[in-house]
Amino acid sequence: MNTIFYIAAATALLSSILAITNRNAIHALLYLIISLLSISVIFYILGAHLIAALEVIVYAGAIMVLFIFVVMMLNIGMEEESEKKWLTPGMWIVPAILASVLLVIFIYVLKAFEYEQAATEIIGPKQVGVSLFTTYLLAVEIAGILLMAGIVGGYHLGKQKKKVMHRFMVKDGERK
């Protein structure tokens, strides 16, 4: 089990790095999907079988596909030139420094505590479902409202403004 963890972790990290450094949007998204699949594997070996499946279905399957649809709709692939201009090597310095400082802090915090053993048993979908619909019922309802807000917002924001021309207007709302 441990080796599977290490392999999956390495894959996730590597593909994430490749995702953010890629110039082509579609390629980056595909690398991201690989990263998500690796994390799903980690979920599985930690005993969270339900959400391993959910990760693949929802995250990798729906959200990333949404991304890909939008990228394809916007025809981004043609803009590799501007990507090259925007992604100069000099831009990596400050974020790298900042991230390494944060890393040091994380390591320091993690080292300060003592942890015991990790996963020892599978927590199945039945347990999760029971927990969802008893303890966290209210949160589920709110999550539902949130999704509805997302739908309505997405519909509205995605709308193109129709150019309504009054017969006395010339263009863009100017009066004749």
Partner 1 sequence: MYIRTEEDEIMVTISMEIQILFAALLFLIGLIGFLVRRNIIFMLMSIEIMLNSAALVFVIAGAHWLQADGQVMFIFILTVSAAEVSVGLALILQMYHHFKTLDADALRKLRDSRENEDIPQ
Partner 2 sequence: MRILIPLIPAIPLLSFLIIALAGRFISKKAVGAIGTGSVIFSALITIAAGLYFLSSAGEGAVTSSVYSWINTGGFSAGISFLLDPLSLVFCFVITFVGALIHLYSIEFMRDDDGFRRFFAYMNLFVGSMLILVLADNLLLLYLGWEGVGLCSYLLIGFWYKEPENGYAARKAFIVTRIGDTAMILGLFLLLISFGTLNIQDLMQQASGRWAAGSPLAVISAVLLLGGALGKSAQLPLQTWLPDAMAGPSPVSALIHAATMVTAGVYLITRTHVLFTLAPVVMTAIAVIGAITLLIAGFSALAQHDLKRVLAYSTISQIGYMFLAMGIGAWSAAVFHFMIHAFFKALLFLSAGAVIHLLHHEHDMFRMGGLHKKMPLIFYTFLTGAASLSALPLITAGFYSKDQILWFGWTSASSSHWLWLAGITGALLTSLYTFRMVFITFYGELKTEPHEKAGALMTVPLIILAILSAAGGFIELPENFGPVHLFSRLFETVLPSVAIEEGSSELIFQIVSAVITLGGIYLAYLLFFRNSPIVKRIRGTRLSDFFYSGWGFDWLYNFLFVKPVVWFSEVDRKDFIDAVYTSIARMTGYFNVLISRSQNGKLRWYVLFLTAGITVLLVVILSL
| Sign, Cα dihedral of 66, 68, 72, 75 | positive
Closest CA to 40 of 89, 4, 66: 4
Q: Restricting to residues 84-143, which ones interact with partner 2 according to CB under 8 A?
A: 94-95, 98, 101-102, 105, 108-109
* One residue of 7, 72, 99, 170 binding partner 1 per CB under 8 A: 99
What residue 158 binds from partner 1, partner 2, none (CB within 5 to 8 A, per partner kind)? partner 1
Torsion of CA 25, 27, 29, 32, to 10 degrees: -140
16 lies in the site for partner 1, by CB under 8 A: yes
Distance CA 165, CA 168 (A): 8
**18-47 mask for partner 1 (x: CB under 8 A)?**
-xx----x--xx--x--xx--x--xx-xxx
Burial class of 38 by CB neighbour count within 10 A (0 to 12, 13 to 18, 19+): buried
Q: Which tokens sit at 111?
A: 């080292």
66 lies in the site for partner 2, by CB under 8 A: no
Shortest CB 138 distance to partner 2, Å: 30
What residue 108 binds from partner 1, partner 2, none (CB within 5 to 8 A, per partner kind)? partner 2
137 lies in the site for partner 1, by CB under 8 A: no
Helix axes 125-134, 137-157, angle to 10 degrees: 90
* One residue of 30, 34, 51, 53 binding partner 1 per CB under 8 A: 51
Residues that bind partner 2 (CB under 8 A): 94-95, 98, 101-102, 105, 108-109
